[in-house]
Structure 1
Amino acid sequence: MALLATAGAWWLLWRPNVAASPEGPAYLYIRTGSSFSTVLATLRQQELLQDLRSFEWLARRREYPERVRPGRYLFTPGLGNQALLDMLLDGRQDTVHFELQAFKYKPQLARQFSRQLEADSASLRRLLNDNDYLQKRYHLDTTTVLTLFLPGSYRLLWTTSAAALLDTAARVHGRFWTPRRRAQADSLGLTPTEVHVLASIVQRETAKKEDKPIIAGVYLNRLRRGMRLQADPTLLWAIGNFGVKRVLNKDKLVNSPYNTYKHKGLPPGPITSANRQSLDAVLKPAAHQYVFFCARPDGSGYSDFAETYAEHKRNARRYQQHLDSLRIMR
């Protein structure tokens, strides 16, 4: 009898119950507020367990139905009921490895996170548009809050709320802004937020690492001389079309605070999420006297720089002729 009891206990507690999946790692997602019956239904539907009845029997005896915890749980092949319930009762979630890509507008940011987290995009958008909340917690407003988010890798719990997500972004942001970087910004007469805004323009101007500090230097020279930035990417942000290859004079008439052809100084917020390379290009700009630049007509992605308007006009004419040869009108 003792042998039978021992065998029965092994069967209930430790016998492998998670089936191997040919499709790779299997996860159980338990949404906030889910009941035990919902958990069972999910396990049944996804066929994660070989013997659901033994799991349910043990779960009830360990009072799991009263202690269901939300999360994203990795079901490793070979796990038995005891180990599974230890994991679920302790709430030992598997983290989500999230790669934040560059974004231009709040809805794009919200959609990126909502695709991989429990929180929906609407909850994040509400916080991003709550000026009082952002001012009190981060000293940012509904426009500058986008400077809080640095593209790159994040490890998050699937159950991370919109508020916790903003706090996580703020911690990553804080680690980037070391005392050395803050001192560099101060030496340029810029706040960290202004560095983000300028870096977003630099990032939209070029993908070439070598050109970024030079372009940053051009814009800083313009700011120091009281010139308008006249940055085409800010116009494209204002008209909502980054696919434009050829900026037209009518684009320069758009009524927007982001129109740097009309308004002096930096726009009120970033036009994309600046990455670390672009931020460091602004913090360590190339020293020169250039105040103009134009894309090279060879399609290389690099720019030609000029100190005088006459030289810049020649560069711009060559580029316009290049667009004409490709029949690019817009």
Structure 2
Amino acid sequence: MLWRRVGWTLFVVLLIAGGIGLYGAWRVLWRPNVEPSPFGPAYLYIRTGGTYQDVLDSLERHELLLEPATFAWLAEHKGYPAQVRPGRYLLESNLGNAALLEKLMQGQQDTVEFVLDAFKYKPQLARQMQRQLEADSTQLRRLLNQQATLQRQYRVDTTTVLTLFIPGRYRFVWNTSAQQFLDSMAAHHRRFWSAERQRRADSLRLSPTQVHVLASIVQRETAKPEDKPVIAGVYLNRLRRGMRLQADPTLLWAIGNFGVKRVLNKDKLVDSPYNTYKQKGLPPGPITSANRQSLDAVLKPAQHDYLFFCARAGGSGYSDFAASYAEHKKNARKYQRWLDSLKIKR
């Protein structure tokens, strides 16, 4: 009958329309819309103060989406242009527009594994930070030179502030500011100084800052884990006896040349608080950022009677130790002859 045919036709039309509508909804809301990358995870970076247009431009410029138009349509309907939040966002390839927008609107960032390498100078630290985070290196350098603030908030000064930064791996959100970076590293520093480590420092009659300074010297002396506690013990023995440290790394800091292989007598005349050939005690600040291994070598030094050491001939990286100056001179002559054989004059 005619009414049945009309009914079936209407049913088919509605079914098709419904299917098209469901497909459209799936395509806009749930269909994976992130462009798969053969080069590893894809990330969207939104700088502090970034606008909705900046987000669209970044998505298009880096070709992160399969269909930017569907993302833009849904973003506007959900009110995202007024809710842009900065950060570094991991874009998994299975993300549809709805899930992606939820992540962006809630600020569900992926954290950054921040690798802090050993450094000797403040600008080197600032450059490391800016390479890995949004934070402004100029602002960090300014903070590291605010004497009154450093003393009040962190109990360090512009010379010892580098003791707050212990090389290693940390987690940060990408849009961390310079102030937040400094605060976080200071918090990690406080956690490192457990009650047990503080007790060990007290037993050595050293403050945490002094431990960092001595550890920085030990770290510049050797990369060999076995030698670190022994070298720490040498310097502690010299400090107890009121002897000058006569540490070559502090002298290289004073003359501004860490590439020297052979220290000359004229180098020892430089007028600097870091010249431990002339000055007694520890220098005023660290000569590099000491890592945990070097710090613990100072806190758990080897017990011995050595007062001298020098690099071992042959370039192994190990040191020869001596309890007497006469024995030390023999070791030093071996090392000097080895340098001569290589025609190294400096």
Same fold (TM over 0.5): yes
Counterpart for residue 204 of structure 2: 188
Match of 1:246 in 2: 262
**C-alpha offsets along residues 6-46 of structure 1, whole Å, 9 cap, x if unaligned?**
32222211111111011111111110111111111111111
Alignment of 1:21-100 (within 5 A): 21-100=37-116
How much does 1:303 deviate? 1.2
Alignment of 1:309-320 (within 5 A): 309-320=325-336
Deviation, structure 1 residue 254: 1.7
Structure 2 partner of 1:139: 155
Match of 1:8 in 2: 24
Comparing 176-185 and 234-243, the one that deviates more: 234-243
Aligned with residue 17 of structure 1, among 29, 33, 44? 33
Show the counterpart of 1:328: 344
Equivalent residues in 2 for 1:85-164, closer than 5 Å? 85-164=101-180
> Alignment RMSD, CA only?
1.1
1: CA distance, partners of 2:40 / 2:309: 50
Distance in 1 between the 2:302 and 2:58 partners? Answer: 57
SS at match of 1:210: coil
User: In structure 1, what is the Cα distance between the partners aligned to 2:192 and 2:35?
Assistant: 43
Q: Does 1:276 align with 2:311?
A: no
What per-residue deviation string (whole Å, max 9, x for no partner) do you get for residues 54-89 of structure 1?
Answer: 111111111111111111111111211100100000
Instruction: Please give the alpha-carbon distance, in whole angstroms, between the structure 1 residues aligned to 2:239 and 2:118.
Output: 26
Tell me the distance in 2 between the aligned counterparts of 1:262 and 1:273: 23
Q: Find the residue that maps to 1:169 and give its secondary structure.
A: helix
Give yes or no for the alignment of 1:290 onto 2:306: yes
Q: Pick one of 236, 239, 243 that aligns with 1:227.
A: 243
Identity %: 70
Letter in 1 for 2:83: R
Query: Equivalent of 1:179, from 186, 195, 218?
Result: 195
- 3-state DSSP class of the match of 2:90? strand
Partner of 2:219: 203
1:19–1:78: 8 Å Cα contact kept in structure 2?
no
Based on CA coordinates, which of the two structures has the bigger radius of gyration? 2
Mapped to 1, the partners of 2:299 and 2:29 lie a distance apart of 59
Distance, in Å, in 1 between the alignment partners of 2:28 and 2:315 is: 67
- Other structure's SS at 2:332 match: helix
Give ranges in structure 2 of 5+ residues lacking alignment: 1-16
1:160-208 C-alpha deviation (Å, 9 max, x unpaired):
1111111211222122111111000000000011001000101111111
SS in 1 for 2:132: coil
Counterpart Cα distance in 1 of 2:114 and 2:123 = 17
Query: Unaligned regions of 5+ residues in structure 1, if any?
Result: none
Q: By how many angstroms is 1:156 displaced?
A: 0.7
Structure 2 residue 194 is matched with structure 1 residue 167 = no
Question: Alignment partner of 1:327: what SS?
Answer: coil
Give, as a single letter, the amino acid of the residue that structure 1 aligns with 2:254: A
Q: Which amino acid aligns with 1:47?
A: E
Q: 2 CA distance for matches of 1:313 and 1:10?
A: 81
SS for the counterpart of 1:146 is helix
Q: Number of residues paired by the alignment? A: 330
